[in-house]
Amino acid sequence: MVVVGPGAGRMNTPLFDAFFDDAALFPPGDAPMASAVPAHTALRARYGDLVGPFVVPGARLEELAALASGPTSFGVSVIAAPLDLPDALARVRAHPVLALASVEVPVVDDARRAVSELAGIVPDGVPVAVEVPRGPARDEVLDALASASYRAKVRTGGLVAPAFPSPGELAATLGACVARGVAFKCTAGLHHAVRHTDPATGFTHHGFLNVLVAVDALRAGGTADGWLAETDASRLVAAVTGWSPERSAAARAAFTSFGTCSVTEPIDDLTALGLVEGTRS
């Protein structure tokens, strides 16, 4: 078993710290809360700073609260519509262990109204990510997020083939985010580091390393399409190897994290690619 945690050998930059939000409750994993909560604690113990918060729907906070315990805080990213957030955040505040790490908002009908409502609900300093729609409404939502310094939530896959944007479509969305200075997180479909086709479903998945390198290219004034379509892992590894701490921080400031129902899978990929080193036990 590869164990990567505080003190383990890794890259000299925090390129992948808090990159992997634990979305074990969501498809295709659909883990029961009773197993997902202790599993998250175990992941934090094993992988340390690599693991991001536990992603939970606001409607399931009571279920989580009954299971969360221990001497250390349990960071959560709460998903809820603006009107449901006050009750959800009150539940987090009232719990002795739960700690609000971020807020995620589903696609909204009126982005500017939602942004205005969120300003009076979410505590200062807590990141907010609003899911952006695919299609013509995307840019209007991104404009609203830019005005409020909120993040975008970009869907990169799902349970059906049409849920996966093409490299061209995703490149346009990432470019629209970078052009506006809107940071983003990704959700769904990023199971592995490199673009690949799942033999079980036939769906072609984007790779999270592809997205990271594509964002770096966009920030430098280049294009993203080629990097998003890249299937040669060695090219992607070569692209990130040697990034300075400043370049790594800038890329991660743009691409903050992604939700994954299996935190172990992407970390195993990075270990196999030589981008994260661990010890064996």
- In this prediction, residue 49 carries a pLDDT of 93
- Taking 60 as the threshold, does the pLDDT of residue 254 lie above it? yes
Q: Which two tokens stand for residue 197?
A: 């086709």
The answer to whether residues 227 and 214 touch, using CB atoms and an 8 Å cutoff, is: yes
Domain spans of the chain? 15-273
Give the count of alpha carbons within 13 A of 50, CB side only.
29
Q: Which two tokens stand for residue 136?
A: 């013509």
User: Cα dist. 64→24, 26, 44, 45, 260 in Å?
Assistant: 13, 14, 17, 19, 18
Number of neighbouring beta carbons within 10 Å of residue 98: 21
Give the count of alpha carbons within 13 A of 137, CB side only.
10
Average pLDDT over residues 6-11: 38
- Considering the domain 15-273 in this protein, what is its CATH number? 3.20.20.70
User: Cα dist. 89→94, 100, 134, 150 in Å?
Assistant: 9, 8, 28, 18
For residues 28 and 135, what is the distance between their CA atoms, to the nearest angstrom? 25
- In this prediction, residue 5 carries a pLDDT of 36
- In this prediction, residue 278 carries a pLDDT of 59
The answer to whether residues 260 and 21 touch, using CB atoms and an 8 Å cutoff, is: yes
- Taking 60 as the threshold, does the pLDDT of residue 8 lie above it? no
Mean pLDDT of the chain: 93
For residues 80 and 101, what is the distance between their CA atoms, to the nearest angstrom? 14
Could you tell me where the DSSP H helices lie in 55-110? 61-65, 85-94
Per-residue pLDDT tens over the stretch 171-207: 999 999 999 999 999 999 999 999 999 999 999 999 9
- In this prediction, residue 13 carries a pLDDT of 52
Residue with tokens 């003190």: 7
Could you tell me where the DSSP H helices lie in the chain? 33-47, 61-65, 85-94, 111-119, 138-148, 167-180, 208-219, 225-229, 233-240, 245-254, 264-272
Per-residue pLDDT tens over the stretch 90-149: 999 999 999 999 999 999 999 999 999 999 899 999 999 999 999 999 999 999 999 999
pTM of the model: 0.93
- In this prediction, residue 111 carries a pLDDT of 94
Per-residue pLDDT tens over the stretch 40-93: 999 999 999 999 999 999 999 999 999 999 899 999 999 999 999 999 999 999
